[in-house]
Amino acid sequence: MKAIIEELADKYVATLKGEMDTAAAMETEEVLKPLYNSKGKDVVIDCSGLEYIASSGLRILLSILKGAKANGSRVVLKDVNDDIKNVFKLTGFISIFDFE
Amino acid sequence: MKHLFGWLRKHLVIVIIILAAMLLELISAIQYRYARDLLEQELEKSCFYELTSSALRIQEKIAEAEVVVGNQMWHIRRHLQEPDYIVELAANMVKDGGINIIGGGAAFKPNYFPSKGFYYEPYAHKTKDTVIISQVGSEQHNYFQSPFYMAAMRGDTTKWTTPYLDREGAHGIVTTYALPILDHNNISVGALFVDLTTDWISEVVNERHSYTSSFVLVLSKTGELIASPADSLADPALVKKIVEMVSDSTVVREKKENGHITGFAFEDEDGEKGHVYHAFRRYEPLWQMVMVCYDKEVFGKLDKMRHRLILLALFGLAVLGLIIQLFVKSHRKLQKAEVTQERINGELRVANRIQQSMLPPNHLHRQDLDICGSLVPAREVGGDIFDYYIRDEKLFFCIGDVSGKGTAAAMLMGVIHSMFRSFSLRENNPARIMQSINELSCQGNDSNMFVTFFLGVLDLPTGRLRYCNAGHDSPYIIHNSQLLSLNCFAHLPVGVLDDIKYSMQEIQLQPDSTIFLYTDGLTEAMDQEHKQYGLKRVEAVLSSLADKNSEQILEEVTKAMHEFVKDAKQSDDLTMLAVRYIPHSFESMLTETLVLKNDIREVSKLSSFMKSVTEKINLEVSLSSQLRLAVEEAVVNVIDYAYPMGTEGEVEVCMMFNGQSLKIMITDCGVPFDPTAKEKADTTLSAEDRQIGGLGILLVRELMDSINYEREEGKNILTLIKTIRN
C-alpha cells in the first residue's frame, strides 16, 4: 500500500496505490491526516491504483470528506474500479462522495 | 316540495295527531248535529203537548163557567118577570160555580124593570165564606158601555171579554162570560154573566213542565198578557220581551203542526238562547198560548257531553301522540344504534384485517424449515398471537394469549407483538427478550391484563432451541412418533409483576422434529354439553402425526377438534403453530483453517489465505475480493471487541466448501460478543450525519448470504455462508 499527497495552489491531490486493508489503513491514515483539514481546498483522490479497501479505509475517506464539507470544499474520487465502487454502493458512500 | 316532505317527516307525529283530531271533531260534530236535531224534534213534540194540555186545562175551567151560565139561563128566562128572584138565581149561579168564579149577575137593558129603575144589575160577589149580593148598576156604574153587555146585546159570537180590572163588582182582574137573556120574543133584554178570575191560569198552565226553565204565558187575543208565572220562575223583562215579540209581525216564524203552532228563536239579556212556541186557543176565549224554553236546558247536557267528549278525545290523542313520539324516538334510537353497530362492525372488520396482516405468512417452507400457523379469533379480533421470523439464521417464534377476549385483548396483543419484534432485533436470548417485554408491559398496565407467552429462538445451523415460557401451555416436540411435552419453568405470565427474572432453557432439537405450539382455545374447546376437548385428546392426535408436515399437522388437529365439538360455537380464540425442523448437513469437500493472533497487523495474512482458498475452488476475482472483505471485517470485529485491551488471544478462521456454498466459521475464545446484535448502520444519511462505526458488520451482512452467531463452550462462533453456485 502506497499513499502520497500533493498540495497544489487550489487543491490537494492524493494518490492511493495497492490494497488498503485494515492494517494498511492504520499506516495510511498517518499519511493522509493533513487532508482532514483541507483549509477550504478541494481534495482529489486518485484511486486508479487502488485495488482493495476495507471499512477502516472507508472511515478515513469519510473523515476527509467531513473535514472538507465543513470548509465548503469538495472531495473527488478519481478512477475508482468497479469492485471498490460496489463497496461504496453497499455502504451508501456512493451518494456522499463525488466520483470522476 | 322536498322541503315540505322533509318537514312532514320530521313532524309526522304532530301531523298525524292533528289529522286524527280533525277527523274526530268532524265525527263528533256530525253526531252532535244529529243528536241536536233529534232533541229539537223531541223538544217540539213535548212543547206542543204542553201547549195543548195547558189549553185543555184552561178549557176545563172555561167550560165550567159556560155551563153554570147556560144552566142558570133556563131558570132566568122562566122567571123573567121576577127581578128579585133573578137576584137569587144569580147568587146561586155564583155559589154553585167553581172557586174561580168570583162573581156574576145579570145586567138588564134600561128601564126593563121599571120598579128597579133605569139601571138594574144585580151582582153576587163571592168572598171567602159568603156571597154578597148587591145592585151595582147606577149612573156611576153605567154597565151599558161594558164590553160584555154590549157584546151580549149585539149577539156577538165572542162571549168572553178581554180580562180587565173590575173595580165595582169583582175588585180584581177578571174575564167575563156573558150570554144574552132573551124574552119570549127572543129579544135580548139583558146579559147573564160570570166573572172569572185570571190568577189561576198561570198556575194551571205552569203546573208542570218537562224542562224546569220553561214556562207558559197566556195572552189575550190582542196580545195583552193574561197570565205569566211568578217573577222567580220567569224574568219579567224576558216575559215583556216575549209578549212584544209575539205581536211583532217582523219576527221570523216557523209554522208547525199544519200552521196551528208557530215557533221563533229568542235571546235574553244575558245572551242565553231559547225557543218560543206559540198557538191560539181553538175555542173561546181565543187566547194565545206561548211556551218559552231555553236551549241551555234542552241542549245543555248534549253540549256538555260534546265538550267532555272533545276534551276526552284531545286527552286521548295527546296520550297517543306521546306514545307514538316515544315509539318513534326509540325507533330512531334503535336505527341510530344499528348504524353505530354497523360502524363498529365495520371498524372491527378493519381491525381484524389489521390484526391478520400483523401475522406472519401462514406457511413458510425453507430447506431446513417447514412452518405452518393459524389463528382463528372467536370474535372479530382476538387476544391470541403467533409470530415467527428468521434473523441471522435464527428462527424467532412466539405464541401468546392475552387474558380476556375482544378489542382490549387485541390491542394489548398488538403491543406485545411489536415488543417481541423490536426487542428480538438485537437480542438472541429469549429470556432477556421476555424480560424486556415484561418490564415494558408492566408499565402503565392499569387494566391488569396479562399475557401467557412462549418465546423460542431456534438456531438453524445447530438445531439448538432456546426458549423462555411465561405461563403459557408447554409446547410439544413431535419426533419419531414420540411426543414430548417441552419442560418449562413455571414463570408468571407477562404483565403481572415487573421484577420477575425470566430464565432461559435450552434443548438440542433432533432433525425432523416438530415443535407444536397452541393456545388454550384448543384444549378448552367445548362441545355443546360444555365438555372440554382436553389435553389427552390433543396428545393422542399429535402422537400419530410424526411423519406429517406442519400444514398436515394443523389440519389433522383442527379436524379432530371439530369432530369433538361438532356444532358448538367457538368460545375462545384458537391459535396453533407448528415448526418442523429439517436441517441439512454441510458436507465439506474442502476445509482450510487459519489461526491469527488478536492483532490488527495479522489481518494481512488473510489476503493470501483467502486467495489460496478461492483459487482452489476457481472463484472469480471480484467475488473472491468480496469474500475477503467480509471475512476481514468479521475478523477485525472479533479482534476489536472479543479481546479486551492488553489480552492476548487467537482467532480461528475455518473455510469450508461443499461444492455449492462457502461456509466460513470464525471462532475465538474471547468474551461473549455477538456482532449480529449490533445496530445496522444507516446508509441513507448525509456525509455530516454518517457515523464512523458499524460499517464492518454492515459489509459482512451485505456481502454474505447469511451470518450466524453462536456462543458455544466458551467460544464465540460466527458463521458466514455464501452460495457460490446453484
Concatenating the DSSP letter of every residue in B28-42 gives: HHHHHHHHHHHHHHH
Q: Which of B517, B529, B616, B516 is nearest to B565 (CA)?
A: B529
pLDDT higher for B233 or B516? B516
What are the grid coordinates assigned to B150, written together? 154590549
B636–A56 C-beta distance less than 8 A? yes
Task: Give the nearest chain B residue to A89 (CA atoms).
Answer: B683
Q: Is A76 exposed, middle or buried, given 0-12, 13-18 or 19+ CB atoms closer than 10 A?
A: middle
Asked whether A52 and B628 are in contact (CB, 8 A), the reply is yes
Q: Is A100 exposed, middle or buried, given 0-12, 13-18 or 19+ CB atoms closer than 10 A?
A: exposed
pLDDT value of position A1: 86
pLDDT value of position B203: 82
Distances in Å between the Cα of B460 and the Cα atoms of B158, B394, B451, B511 are 149, 6, 27, 10
User: Mean pLDDT, chain A, as a whole number?
Assistant: 90
Mean pLDDT along residues B281-290 = 84
Is pLDDT at B703 greater than 90 in this prediction? yes
pLDDT value of position B432: 94
Question: pLDDT band at residue A58, thresholds of 50, 70 and 90?
Answer: very high
Asked whether B461 and B710 are in contact (CB, 8 A), the reply is yes
pLDDT value of position B575: 93
Q: Which amino acid is at B53?
A: S
Chain A and chain B share a number of CB contacts under 8 A equal to 70
Mean pLDDT along residues B205-227 = 83
**Distance (Å, rounded) from C-alpha B520 to C-alpha B399?**
11
Asked whether B565 and B526 are in contact (CB, 8 A), the reply is yes
Mean pLDDT along residues B645-668 = 92
Q: Is B481 exposed, middle or buried, given 0-12, 13-18 or 19+ CB atoms closer than 10 A?
A: exposed
Question: pLDDT band at residue A54, thresholds of 50, 70 and 90?
Answer: very high
Question: pLDDT band at residue B507, thresholds of 50, 70 and 90?
Answer: very high
Asked whether B607 and A21 are in contact (CB, 8 A), the reply is yes
Kindly report the pTM of this predicted structure: 0.61
Q: What's the residue count for chain B?
A: 726
B387: left (phi over 0), alpha (psi -120 to 50) or beta: beta
Is pLDDT at B518 greater than 70 in this prediction? yes
User: Mean pLDDT, chain B, as a whole number?
Assistant: 88
CA distance A74 to chain B (A): 12
**Distance (Å, rounded) from C-alpha B68 to C-alpha A51?**
173
pLDDT value of position B517: 96
A59–B629 C-beta distance less than 8 A? no
Mean pLDDT along residues B425-448 = 88
A21–B603 C-beta distance less than 8 A? yes
pLDDT value of position B46: 84
* Max avg pLDDT among B46-60, B127-141, B395-409, B429-443: B429-443
- A50: enclosing H helix or E strand: strand A42-53
Query: Given CB atoms, is A59 within the 8 Å cutoff of chain B?
Result: yes
Instruction: Name the residue facing A92 among B607, B684, B696 (closest C-beta).
Output: B684
pLDDT value of position B726: 66
B626–A83 C-beta distance less than 8 A? yes
What are the grid coordinates assigned to B507, written together? 434443548
Question: pLDDT band at residue B547, thresholds of 50, 70 and 90?
Answer: confident
Instruction: Name the residue facing B607 among A21, A90, A92 (closest C-beta).
Output: A21
Q: B714 by DSSP, 3-state: which?
A: coil
Task: Give the nearest chain A residue to B687 (CA atoms).
Answer: A96
B685–A55 C-beta distance less than 8 A? no
Residue found under cell 129579544: B187
Q: How many CB atoms lie within 10 A of CB B154?
A: 11
Is pLDDT at B473 greater than 80 in this prediction? yes
**Distance (Å, rounded) from C-alpha B200 to C-alpha B636?**
151
Is pLDDT at B718 greater than 90 in this prediction? yes
CA distance B605 to chain A (A): 10
pLDDT value of position A45: 93
Mean pLDDT along residues B181-210 = 85
Question: pLDDT band at residue B706, thresholds of 50, 70 and 90?
Answer: very high
B696–A83 C-beta distance less than 8 A? no
B699–A87 C-beta distance less than 8 A? yes
What are the grid coordinates assigned to B356, written together? 391478520
- pLDDT tens figures, B292-329: 888 887 788 888 888 888 888 889 888 888 888 888 88
pLDDT value of position B580: 94
pLDDT value of position B256: 78
**Distance (Å, rounded) from C-alpha B402 to C-alpha B494?**
9
pLDDT higher for B454 or B569? B454
* Max avg pLDDT among B39-48, B256-265, B556-565: B556-565
- pLDDT tens figures, B569-607: 887 888 999 999 999 888 889 999 999 998 888 888 988
What are the grid coordinates assigned to B540, written together? 393422542
Question: pLDDT band at residue A52, thresholds of 50, 70 and 90?
Answer: very high
**Distance (Å, rounded) from C-alpha B292 to C-alpha B211?**
10
Mean pLDDT along residues B29-36 = 89
